[in-house]
């Protein structure tokens, strides 16, 4: 989708910090529309396919509901700002954040505990007890810009100090840090946008997307296939299949948000509102802190920035992969990948006499890839009542191709 519409992914040339690098006119918007409408048919097909596949698997063996299972504990900053509300200020971020087409929020075991971007920000911490990094000593920023206390482990206080070493599962075993929210291990994904938005029921513009508090209704217009109304329901159990089912619904969801914005862009064009950027001057004196609340294709994404006398002095990025691949917390709670794998039964047929011969690790693969379909992984499994270790490496994505 990003390539077909933007021409390049990541970092399309047309969208840059501060605005757009292209001039918008009726021709450009019509070209965009012709590319966009293809996703309405595609989204219907993907949702129908994945619905059938997952229902079939679960009917054949209900234990598939245990694959990749963990509590629905996740985080999302929300994306897709509404032009009538967005002003880019931290002071008003709770207002413009809740006006987004994707609502920010945190779920803890399926319960929505906040939709406040400020609360999401101040609740973030990163730990390195099990990572190849040194602990940092500083606590430069004791509060956010509103005076709310910050942890010394908050990204604004973080320093990245590499400490390579030997892998030890009891000590340090990853280059990932351990990000938490309010000391909870939270997962992230495109599916979190759908789940939290449906649960929060706060979307302002409901021309095509309609959260209900327990579901998300999508009104998909006609292209080659007839117009239809689709509904995603918040599942009773959160597992690998439900992550992928929700991700499938995210295709029409994202396309419909784009269509809503296309109509708004046409209205702005008719009114003569054609500005492509907002003037901004970087302060040359003093200390400035800021945070970008956005999302990648994989979900939650924040950029925490410090500027001293006009120059960047610290830049910390918290990615969705950092959240999902998090190691154990300092108090022993596993990260999302780890917890999902620990809860996963081995359902494939395995020759216990020679497990290394036929074991594929497909259930582990399903658990990990449900968080991120592009994540290469290596699985180490110890055979019960033995010292025998089975290792399976899976690198089926195209990330490393030249």
Q: How many residues appear in the chain? A: 402
pLDDT of residue 116: 98
Question: What value does the mean pLDDT take over residues 140-148?
Answer: 97
Query: Phi/psi of residue 276, each to 5°?
Result: -105, -5
Q: Torsion angle of alpha carbons 202, 82, 187, 214, nearest 10°?
A: 20
Pairing mode, strands 389-394 and 377-382: antiparallel
Q: Count CB-CB contacts under 10 A for residue 312.
A: 11
The DSSP letter of residue 171 is: S
* Range in 4-8, 50-54, 80-84 the model is least confident about: 4-8
Query: Phi/psi of residue 259, each to 5°?
Result: -65, -40
Q: Which contiguous run of DSSP H or E holds residue 242?
A: helix 240-270
Burial class (CB in 10 A: 0-12, 13-18, 19+), 25: exposed
Query: What confidence tier does 10 reach under pLDDT thresholds 50, 70, 90?
Result: low
CA 92, distance to chain mean position in Å, is 23
pLDDT of residue 402: 45
Residue 207: inside a domain, yes or no? yes
pLDDT of residue 265: 94
Question: What value does the mean pLDDT take over residues 1-12?
Answer: 67
pLDDT digits (tens, 9 = 90+) for 242-260: 999 999 999 999 999 999 9
Q: What is the CATH number of the domain that holds 224?
A: 1.10.645.10
pLDDT of residue 119: 98
Angle between helices 38-60 and 240-270 (to 10 degrees): 170
**What span, in angstroms and rounded, lies between the C-alpha atoms of 373 and 340?**
15
Question: What value does the mean pLDDT take over residues 107-136?
Answer: 97
Helix residue ranges, H only, 162-209: 190-200
Residue 371: inside a domain, yes or no? no
Contact 103, 68 (CB under 8 A): no
Q: Which contiguous run of DSSP H or E holds residue 16?
A: strand 15-16
SS3 content of the chain, % helix, strand, coil (to 5): 30, 20, 50
Q: Is the pTM of this model over 0.75?
A: yes
Angle between helices 240-270 and 362-371 (to 10 degrees): 20
* Range in 163-172, 226-235, 311-320, 353-362 the model is least confident about: 353-362
* Range in 4-13, 126-135, 289-298, 367-376 the model is least confident about: 4-13
Furthest C-alpha separation in the chain:
74
**What span, in angstroms and rounded, lies between the C-alpha atoms of 194 and 79?**
11
Q: Which domain holds residue 121?
A: 20-324
3-state secondary structure of 64: helix
**What span, in angstroms and rounded, lies between the C-alpha atoms of 70 and 316?**
28
pLDDT of residue 401: 44
Q: State yes or no: pLDDT of 351 exceeds 80.
A: no
Residue 224: inside a domain, yes or no? yes
**What span, in angstroms and rounded, lies between the C-alpha atoms of 77 and 329?**
22
Q: Which contiguous run of DSSP H or E holds residue 48?
A: helix 38-60
For the chain, give the mean pLDDT: 90
The count of domains in the chain is 1
Residue 396: inside a domain, yes or no? no
Residue 159: inside a domain, yes or no? yes
pLDDT digits (tens, 9 = 90+) for 262-282: 999 999 999 999 888 888 888
Residue 104: inside a domain, yes or no? yes
Please list, residue by residue across 99-122, b when 16 or more beta carbons sit within 10 angstroms of its beta carbon and e when fewer do.
Answer: bbbbbbbbbbebebbbbbbbbbbb
| Of 261, 264, 253, 258, residue with least CA distance to 209 | 253
Residue 363: inside a domain, yes or no? no
| Of 280, 21, 329, 76, residue with least CA distance to 188 | 76
**What span, in angstroms and rounded, lies between the C-alpha atoms of 305 and 319?**
14
Burial class (CB in 10 A: 0-12, 13-18, 19+), 358: exposed
**What span, in angstroms and rounded, lies between the C-alpha atoms of 341 and 171?**
20
Residue 400: inside a domain, yes or no? no
pLDDT digits (tens, 9 = 90+) for 192-208: 999 999 999 999 999 99
Contact 282, 310 (CB under 8 A): yes
Query: What confidence tier does 2 reach under pLDDT thresholds 50, 70, 90?
Result: low
């Amino acid at each position: 989708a990003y390539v077909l519409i933007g021409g390049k992914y990541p970092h399309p040339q047309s969208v840059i910090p501060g605005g757009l690098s292209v001039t918008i006119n009726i021709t450009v918007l019509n070209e965009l529309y012709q590319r966009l409408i293809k996703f309405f048919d595609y989204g219907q097909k993907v949702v129908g396919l994945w619905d059938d596949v997952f229902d079939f698997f679960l009917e054949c063996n209900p234990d598939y509901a245990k694959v990749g299972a963990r509590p629905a504990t996740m985080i999302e900053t929300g994306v897709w700002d509404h032009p009538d509300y967005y002003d880019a200020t931290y002071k008003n971020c709770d207002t413009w954040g809740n006006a987004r087409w994707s609502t920010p929020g945190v779920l803890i075991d399926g319960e929505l505990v906040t939709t406040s971007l400020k609360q999401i920000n101040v609740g973030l911490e990163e730990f390195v007890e099990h990572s190849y990094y040194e602990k940092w000593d500083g606590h430069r920023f004791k509060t956010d810009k509103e005076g709310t206390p910050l942890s010394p482990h908050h990204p604004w206080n973080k320093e990245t100090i590499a400490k390579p070493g030997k892998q030890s599962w009891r000590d340090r075993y990853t280059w990932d840090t351990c990000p938490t929210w309010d000391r909870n291990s939270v997962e992230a994904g495109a599916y979190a946008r759908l789940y939290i938005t449906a649960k929060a029921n706060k979307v302002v513009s409901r021309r095509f997307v309609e959260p209900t508090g327990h579901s998300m209704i999508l009104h998909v217009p006609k292209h080659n296939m007839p117009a239809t109304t689709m509904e995603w329901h918040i599942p009773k159990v959160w597992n690998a299949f439900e992550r992928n089912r929700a991700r499938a619904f995210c295709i029409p969801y994202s396309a419909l948000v784009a269509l809503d914005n296309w109509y708004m862009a046409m209205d702005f064009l008719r009114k003569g509102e054609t500005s492509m950027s907002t003037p901004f001057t970087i302060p040359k004196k003093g200390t400035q802190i800021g945070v970008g609340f956005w999302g990648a294709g994989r979900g939650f994404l924040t950029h925490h920035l410090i500027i001293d006398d006009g120059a960047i002095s610290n830049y910390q990025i918290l990615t969705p992969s950092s959240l999902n691949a998090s190691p154990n917390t300092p108090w022993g709670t596993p990260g999302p990948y780890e917890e999902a794998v620990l809860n996963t039964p081995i359902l494939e047929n395995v020759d216990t006499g020679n497990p290394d011969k036929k074991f594929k690790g497909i259930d582990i693969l399903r658990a990990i890839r449900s968080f991120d379909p592009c994540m290469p992984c290596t699985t180490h499994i110890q055979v019960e009542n033995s010292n025998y270790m089975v290792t399976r490496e899976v690198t089926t994505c195209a990330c490393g191709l030249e």
